[in-house]
Structure 1
Amino acid sequence: MTMTFETWLQSRLTAHGFACGPIDGVVGPITRSAIRAFETARNLTADGIADEAVVSALRQSASKVDPETAEAVKDRLVSEAEIQTIDLADLKTNSWPRQSGVPAYYGAVGTRQTRVEIPFDMALAWSKTTRIRTMTLHERVAASASRVLQTVAATYSAEERQALGLDLFGGSLNVRRMRGGSAWSMHSWGIAIDFDPERNQLKWGAPKARLSHADALPFWKAFEAEGWLSLGRARNYDWMHVQAARL
């Protein structure tokens, strides 16, 4: 996804807790309302214009808001059903096959794998002192995943990635069966990635799952712009998981 100033503005507002609807690069009434709310919270002139003062404030980590604003953000996250789920028809559909067509499109499980560099610090979710800088993915999805990760790095500060758990790697390639079934998991082809499994457990829905909160919306939008599917956004479970295959 190419990040313009407008999409950066919408992503940063959302990361700060001031959701502005779809991150589509269109600065309309909802985005301007979010700017005014952000300006009011930061004691700036509430004119809905993304001037130098607003841009400077948005560049700061979202964790650095004052206590009163932080509480307001928390209330906003809880009151929004922690990001609405999506209509599957809204996903870009010209990139990846349906799950039923995965073997024909990607080939045998565990094959055609490559390493993708991660443009920010990550740790293994099950061994948080172990740092990683690459993940293993199918060669057909590697370039797409790399673009998404670059967008995530540009959208969130290190503190914000840590708060969301985007710095906790839960796995990519893993040749295994789906939990409770006989079919191969999407991980078996290296076309799925898990983030922070401890706080986004398989059966947890919104708002319990951390990645169901509103500040995760730019993260999911980055994947959806490349056609990847979030099971959390589509089915409200397994919020740790994103895959390059449609249901």
Structure 2
Amino acid sequence: MKTSDIRLIQKNLSEEGLYTGQTDGKRGPQTDKAVNAALSDRSQDLPDEWSEWPEKRKAVAYLQLICKDNDIDPGPIDGFYGPRTEDAANDLRVLQSTGTLPRPFADIEPVIANPHNFPIERKANLDTFYGKPCDIPLVKVPCPWTLRLDWDLGSTTDKITIHKKLADSLGHILEEAFSYYGPDGIRKHGLDRYGGSYNCRKKRGSMTSWSTHAWAIAIDWYPSKNKLKWRSDQASLAHPDLDFWWELWEKEGWFSLGRSENRDWMHVQGTRR
């Protein structure tokens, strides 16, 4: 069970009037006492032997109960913290912070198109289509809105450095996005929070494989709210309001790791998988 799960437990115990301690994510005697009181009031929803469980298992059972109370299925109320309970807790956290449940990833259907015949993401294919990594023709494509570097919001740019073969496609996507969302929508959804494009580097964690950024065929958007391992229930760019944004890229043949693999929602690239 994660620290964030314990905070969720403490928050709900406080709302029930059973806990007056800090919402600090630390399961101590005060939290355990409140959990026991809450479960005693719900004994009809628990297995007969629940009172004999270890305190951690009781805490998980309470977490499962509050998920169920919010029409989120955690699986059996058994006090075991498996993937189903973890997913339910994540959904509950989003519900209580935003007022709505996250959209299931299974409901996201990427557009399959490749009008520019982008290659499959293999080095030989990329070398043939784009050239050698770090030795490719670069152009600066104007962006209709001001981009702020996500890690240094005081640094701005109005151009994206990209491979020459992607310039027209990128320019079309940016113009369409600005026309649809407007300045307020761009800022609201963090589309002005820029994570970079061309970068002559290897893939994270690899000493041999080149990142698609080294061919200048990838762009990162709003990295701080769309981290590498975040799924659709965490990533801001997975919001349904951004479907149009992603469909613009997909109709041009670009590939979104988030929309296709539910990871790295910041990243889009001019390749196929």
TM over 0.5: yes
CA contact (8 A) 1:118 1:146 kept: yes
Q: How far apart are 1:83 and its partner, in Å?
A: 8.2
How has the CA–CA distance of structure 1 residues 83 and 142 changed in structure 2, closer, same or farther, with 3 Å as cutoff? farther
What residue number does 2:137 align with? Answer: 112
Partner of 1:203: 229
1:144 paired with 2:166, answer no
1:128 corresponds to 2:177: no
Identity %, equivalent residues: 33
**Contact map agreement 1:196 1:240 (CA 8 A) in 2:** yes
Residue 216 of structure 2 is aligned to residue 183 of structure 1: no
- Which has more radius of gyration? 2
Of 100, 114, 121, 1:93 maps to 114
Deviation for aligned residue 1:86:
3.1
Contact 1:121 1:133 in 2 (8 A): yes
- SS of equivalent to 2:230: coil
Correspondence for 2:248 among 215, 219, 222? 222
CA contact (8 A) 1:92 1:226 kept: yes
Q: How many residues align?
A: 172
Instruction: Report the Cα offset of residue 75 of structure 1.
Output: 4.7
Name the structure 2 match of 1:240: 266
Q: CA RMSD in A?
A: 1.8
Q: Any conservation in 1 of the 2:105–2:262 contact (CA below 8 Å)?
A: no
- Give the AA of the match of 1:225: K
Q: Residues of 2 paired with 1:201 and 1:222: CA distance?
A: 22
CA distance in 2, matches of 1:231, 1:127: 25
Q: Is the 8 A contact 1:85 1:236 kept in 2?
A: no
Shift of 1:85: 3.2
Higher relative contact order (CA 8 A, sep 6+): 1
CA distance in structure 1 between the partners assigned to 2:106 and 2:168 by the alignment: 27
For 1:34-183, what aligned pairs fall within 5 Å after superposition? 75=99, 78-81=101-104, 84-86=107-109, 90-95=111-116, 96-100=118-122, 101-110=125-134, 111-181=136-206, 182-183=208-209
Unaligned runs of 5+ in 1: 1-70
Contact 1:171-1:193 at 8 Å conserved across structures: yes
2:237–2:265: 8 Å Cα contact kept in structure 1? Answer: yes
Gaps of 5+ in 2: 1-94
Task: Say which of 218, 227, 230 aligns to 1:192.
Answer: 218
CA contact (8 A) 1:83 1:217 kept: no
Query: Alignment partner of 1:159: what SS?
Result: helix
In 2, Cα distance between equivalents of 1:237 and 1:211: 11
Give distance in 2, aligned partners of 1:231 and 1:213: 15
What's the CA shift string for 1:191-239, capped at 9, x where partnerless? 0010000000000001100001111111001111101110000100000
Give the partner amino acid of 2:131. G
Secondary structure, aligned partner of 2:165: coil
Q: Distance in 2 between matches of 1:227 and 1:188?
A: 19
For residues 80-119 of structure 1, give each alpha carbon's deviation from its aligned partner in whole angstroms, at most 9, with x where no partner exists: 33783335xx411342101111111000112111110001
Cα distance in 1 between the residues matched to 2:144 and 2:105: 27
Name which of 223, 239, 245 aligns with 1:213.
239
